[in-house]
Amino acid sequence: MPGNEAFLTPGVKIFEEEVGGQAFQPAGTSAAAFVGTCDKGPIGRATLVTSWYDYQRKFGHDLSFHMTRAAKNFFYMGGQRLWVVRTCHYTDITDPLTATAVAASVTVTDGGEPATDLVTFEALTPGTWGNDLMVEIANVDEAGGTFDLIVYEKHGDRYYTMERFEGVTLDESDTEHFVEDVLSHPTRGSIYIKATVLANGNPAEGSYHLTGGDNGTTGITDQDYIGDQGAQTGLYALDNVDEILAICHPGNTSATVIIGGLNYVLNNFNRRPPQSDIYVYDLPLGLEPQEALEFVRDQVTMTTGYEAVYYPWVKVGNREEPVAPYMLGIYAKNDMTRGVWQAPAGAKFPLPVTGTAYEVKETDQQVLNPRGINCIRHIPWEGILPWGARTLDVHGKFRYLNVRRFVNAIKKTLFEGSQQFVFELNGPKLWERIEDTARRLLFFYYSLGAFAGKSPEESFYAKCDEDTNPPELVEQGIVTCEIGIVPPKPAEFVVFNVLIYPEGALPVGEVTEVLTG
């Protein structure tokens, strides 16, 4: 109903009013986040990439970096949304301006005696990639003060033309052709370099190689990978990403870094909502099963239920690779084709690898699986497969990874969709709307087969009434909706009991007929 102000004058009044619950938009779960080093791209900022080509364009294609190979494997396995945070060494992790990565650059003069520095060209982002860039100054019009600028990039032994900007000038009064503005134009600018004009004049014609680019990896520490919350570096650059994330430090198996990742997903209340992400990690390369157990028990020590641990690394030809990035691609494919409530493991997800760093046997997994360490195994006739789908919460309700991720999706959806209820009148009308809206969401998931019950009544409930909202809570401005669900558990152990009967002793009515035709 409208407020009383609407009835101060006579006449016909027409209003709109929403009745009943609203349809929530279910939260996506297939996004991943990598924090690591590479040779190109912005430092300390979460950047979305949506394909392997997109990653190469923004962060380079140097496959000597774990993160670059991880991105390639993530997209190969079916990933579609990847948030990348490039890190480097910081002399002070609390100050993002102390990043030691350096952009390649070159300063062009007027060629006089003595020469006057006129303009510095700098690679758009720090890193060694910029050392393969070259700029050419051509067609200088000394009277008009204009010149052509050509950008080259080296591939192999040859330089290839990447960009050409004609008729640019160092005269900032020429707003249409001023080289700084031309290169920084949001749609027609350069994706390779930027310019800083030092003085007006005519640059000397010639080719100029950019040099001095540095990835900033010398002296890099565990804290550089973890980051600082105040400075929004490392993991904390993800604080403003408004998606549920599966987070990974590709190839980094430092116990300190792993603990930092677990603390981020468990205790960082700047995420919206808190505790909606998971952290996925590999164990160090070269560990045998007992050493793997001891590493988790004695060095990581944390069992949160918000993690997935994989063992061992895999082989691609002669190279050994961490498997977690492959798994994040599998999560994405699983969520899009089957649903987040399904376990991301088994014969449906063969890994495109040639072997494993350690051949996990049945008896090895008998030790690792009960502790929540997910094994990568060679299953004859099926391939090399993820053969586990657990968290480390082996004695709790969140033993299975699909349960944790499904509940995270529900929490995120409720958090996002329920902003509409904040500051509404706290009474039966609001309670009814909240309960109806929550029930609609849960029924949607039920219709997709996301619950274990045979009927809605056996699968979920939502309750928001005078029982969940007693007067003492209403007085404090609190409204509470209680939700109960029965999430599905994966069929981790498939058992066939073969009963041997003597002739003529089969129970009557239990013989299965073989139908043909």
Residue 179, domain member (yes or no): yes
Distance CA 10, CA 7 (A): 7
Confirm if 44 and 96 have CB atoms less than 8 A apart: yes
Q: Tell me: do 375 and 319 sit in the same domain.
A: yes
Residue 22, domain member (yes or no): no
Q: Tell me: do 82 and 45 sit in the same domain.
A: yes
Q: Tell me: do 357 and 375 sit in the same domain.
A: yes
Q: Does the pLDDT at position 328 exceed 90? A: yes
The distance from CA 185 to its chain's CA centroid, rounded to whole angstroms, is 29
User: What is the per-residue pLDDT across 152-201, written as a single tens digit (0 to 9) for each?
Assistant: 999 999 999 999 999 999 999 998 999 999 999 999 999 999 999 999 99
Confirm if 244 and 31 have CB atoms less than 8 A apart: yes
Q: Tell me: do 121 and 204 sit in the same domain.
A: yes
Distance CA 174, CA 392 (A): 63
Residue 418, domain member (yes or no): no
Q: Tell me: do 346 and 297 sit in the same domain.
A: yes
Domain count, the chain: 3
Mean pLDDT computed over 339-355: 97
Residues 6+ apart with CB under 8 A from 386: 310, 323, 327, 330, 344, 345, 346, 349, 351, 374, 376
Q: Tell me: do 236 and 194 sit in the same domain.
A: no
Distance CA 15, CA 1 (A): 8
Mean pLDDT computed over 133-154: 97
Q: Tell me: do 246 and 357 sit in the same domain.
A: yes
Residue 63, domain member (yes or no): yes
The pLDDT assigned to 517 comes to: 47
User: What is the per-residue pLDDT across 29-61, written as a single tens digit (0 to 9) for each?
Assistant: 999 999 999 999 999 999 999 999 999 999 999
- The shares of helix, strand and coil residues in the chain, as percent rounded to the nearest 5, are 30, 20, 50
148, exposed or middle or buried, with CB in 10 Å at 0-12, 13-18, 19+?
A: middle
Q: Does the pLDDT at position 213 exceed 60? A: yes
Q: Tell me: do 133 and 222 sit in the same domain.
A: no
Residue bearing tokens 């090399």:
384
Supply the CATH number for residue 310's domain: 3.40.50.11780
pLDDT averaged over the chain?
A: 94
71: pLDDT confidence band, cut at 50, 70 and 90?
very high
Mean pLDDT computed over 287-300: 97
3-class DSSP state of 179: helix
Question: Which of 368, 402, 436 finishes a domain?
Answer: 402
The pLDDT assigned to 381 comes to: 93
Please state the length of the chain. 517
Residue 261, domain member (yes or no): yes
Residues 6+ apart with CB under 8 A from 172: 178, 180, 197, 200
User: What is the per-residue pLDDT across 452-505, written as a single tens digit (0 to 9) for each?
Assistant: 999 999 999 999 999 999 999 999 999 999 999 999 999 999 999 999 999 888
Q: Tell me: do 386 and 267 sit in the same domain.
A: yes
Mean pLDDT computed over 350-354: 97
Distance CA 246, CA 82 (A): 10
Residue 190, domain member (yes or no): yes
Q: Tell me: do 118 and 192 sit in the same domain.
A: yes
Distance CA 242, CA 73 (A): 24
The pTM score is: 0.93
Range of the domain at 446: 423-485
Residue 460, domain member (yes or no): yes
Tokens of 358: 């350690």
Question: Which of 353, 371, 402 finishes a domain?
Answer: 402
Q: Tell me: do 268 and 392 sit in the same domain.
A: yes
The pLDDT assigned to 286 comes to: 96
Q: Tell me: do 379 and 282 sit in the same domain.
A: yes
User: What is the per-residue pLDDT across 403-441, written as a single tens digit (0 to 9) for each?
Assistant: 999 999 999 999 999 999 999 999 999 999 999 999 999
Residues 6+ apart with CB under 8 A from 154: 132, 133, 134, 160
The pLDDT assigned to 152 comes to: 98
Supply the CATH number for residue 165's domain: 2.60.40
Residue 374, domain member (yes or no): yes
Residue 257 backbone phi and psi in degrees, to 5: -65, -40
